[in-house]
Structure formats: C-alpha cells, structure tokens
Amino acid sequence: MSKSQAKDPKLSFKPEDVASHLLEAGVAEISAAAALLADGKGSDRETVRALSEASRGIELILKGLVAQVHWTQVFAEPSSASLSDLEAGDFASASTQHCLERLKAMVGLSVGDADRKKLTSIREKRNLYEHFGKLDNIQAVRGSVGAALSSLMQLLAAADENSFLSVGLDGMLAQLTFELSEFDRFATARMNEIGAALDGREVFWCPRCSQRAAVIDDGGHCHFCVTRTPGEAFARHYVEAVLGVSRHDVVKDGAFWPQFSCPGCGEESLVQREGAEPFICFNCGESWAVRALEPCAYGCGKMMRADDGGTCSDCLAFRMSRDD
C-alpha cells in the first residue's frame, strides 16, 4: 500500500465511506430536483434550479460508483490522489466522462452513445446557463433532465444486475424513483426505456416505487426503480394492494387470506386470484390451473398438487408417526 493510500488516524472520515457519502449526496440532489419538477408545475426559475441539482446529482452518483472500486478514482488523476487532499476537498475531481470510462474499464459497466450524450450534455447545459445565461426553452430543459435521469437509472440497473450497488442503496433508489415518478417527462422516458424488458411479460405494481413495472424473477424485480423484493413480501403486497385483502380483515372479519406455500419452490409466495390460472407464485413465477392444486387434506393450509395425493410431506410424516 502506498503512503498516499494508507489510513491516517488523524483523518475525520474513513476513506472506505467515501462512496456511500457520494451516493447519498447524489440521491439527495436528484430528490431535490424531482420535487421542483413534480407534476410539471415548476416555474422557469425552479426548472433552472432543478437542472443544476440534477446535474450535480448525476456527477455525485457516478463518482460514488467509481469510488466503490477505490476512493482514488474520484480524482481526475488517481495516481496523484492523497487522503489529505480528499479531506480538504483540494483536488480536481473526475468528470462525468472520466467516470463513465472508468466504470467500463474497471467493472465492465458501459452505456451506449445516446445515453452517454444525455448524461454529459446536462452538465454542458448547466454550464452554459451558469456562465453565460444561455438556456433552451423550459420544456426542452425539462426534457433533457428527464432523459438524463432515465439514462442514469439505466446505468444503475446495470450496476444492480452486476451486484455493484452498495448494500442499502436500493432503499434510497426506490424512494428517489418514487419521487421522480411525479416528474412527468422522467416517468415517460423511463417507461419507454424499459418497455422492451417488459414486453410480453406479466407486469405488476412495484411495492417500492408504486410503478407498474415489476416482474417475477426470483421474487419481484422492478425495472423502473431497479429494486428487488423477496417473493413472500411481493405476494403480500399483491394481496393487499391488488386483491384488497388486509391482515386486519382476516383477524376481524375472518376474511380469506389467499397466500400459501408454493408447492414448486416452497416459499410462502403463492397467491390465489381470479382467472384461468388463478394460482401464481411471486417467487418462482410458476402458475397452476384452478384444479391443479388443492389444500392439504389434513387442513394445515398448504396447497398441494392434485396429483400428489393431496397430503403434504409434513402431514404425511405426522400421520405415519401416529400409525406406528
């Protein structure tokens, strides 16, 4: 380890925390931008502020991603990085272009030319306004911000697929995406981006961002907010949000709770709904026709394949032990 990379006990921060701080700060900036642009009601001044905050947020998140590889990557010249300069903030930092190139070279995360242009041009628009007062019309600015944020989410989706997002960041991203969903142009651009991934698949409402963009893939996988939900929780959300059944109804009024253990994967993620194939597992995705499953004959509540004899293995073992 070089001297510049060694831990300094006098430092007031931990170098390994740099990535999470940058990512959290970036999410906060974009969250602020989303609030200014929500529902298309932002004034011209608010739109300009949103442009600046969205631009800073994108830069911070990209720097946070490269910092997950090593804190020196936030420097324009990593070879000259030092912890003292980092703590003092006295250094030239990596540009958006630097970060995109490093993500591709170091961890194989890349974006297409169109997305790269969207991510870099928003900073150019911000600089033109801040230095020279030049600005596109307000709707064009809104469109640019929405397109850039959509491209950022595409990159974060790729990072998630490659297990390259910091632990705990998914919650922040879900909250951020929920806020951005109120920004009409972002939501439209985002849904256009993910349309191909959803085409031909059954799509569900996401428990995290409330967008109808989640599919079953080892639990719930939302393409809009790039988060995953365990199958059991995904199934419970469907029962409550779509079927309109709550635990309170079950306890108070004896309502039927249509969630069971899946005979395929064993997870408590099987839901009974209406339709030709009413049984569907929100974990493994397998579905069954109405007469293909039946409750365990011993009343334990598990659903069994009808051709398996109608008794679950646990109840069968208990029955055999009683017969001995």
> For the chain, what are the domain ranges?
3-196, 199-290
Query: What is the reported pLDDT for 12?
Result: 61
Query: What is the reported pLDDT for 39?
Result: 63
280: left (phi over 0), alpha (psi -120 to 50) or beta: beta
Compute CA 77 distance to the chain's CA centroid, rounded to the nearest angstrom: 31
Euclidean distance between CA atoms 270 and 9, whole angstroms:
53
Q: What H or E segment, with its residue span, contains residue 216?
A: strand 212-216
Q: Is 294 helix (H, G, I), strand (E, B) or coil?
A: strand
- Report the Cα–Cα distance between both ends of the chain, in Å, rounded: 67
Query: What is the reported pLDDT for 318?
Result: 72
Query: What is the reported pLDDT for 10?
Result: 56
Q: Let me know how long the chain is.
A: 324
Query: What is the reported pLDDT for 279?
Result: 92
Residue among 75, 63, 84, 67 at smallest CA distance from 3: 84
Query: What is the reported pLDDT for 323?
Result: 63
In terms of C-beta density within 10 A (0-12 exposed, 13-18 middle, 19 or more buried), how is residue 46 classed? middle
Query: What is the reported pLDDT for 307?
Result: 78
pTM value is: 0.75
Cβ(295)–Cβ(303) under 8 Å? Answer: yes
Query: What is the reported pLDDT for 223?
Result: 92
The stretches in the chain having pLDDT less than 50 are 1-7, 9
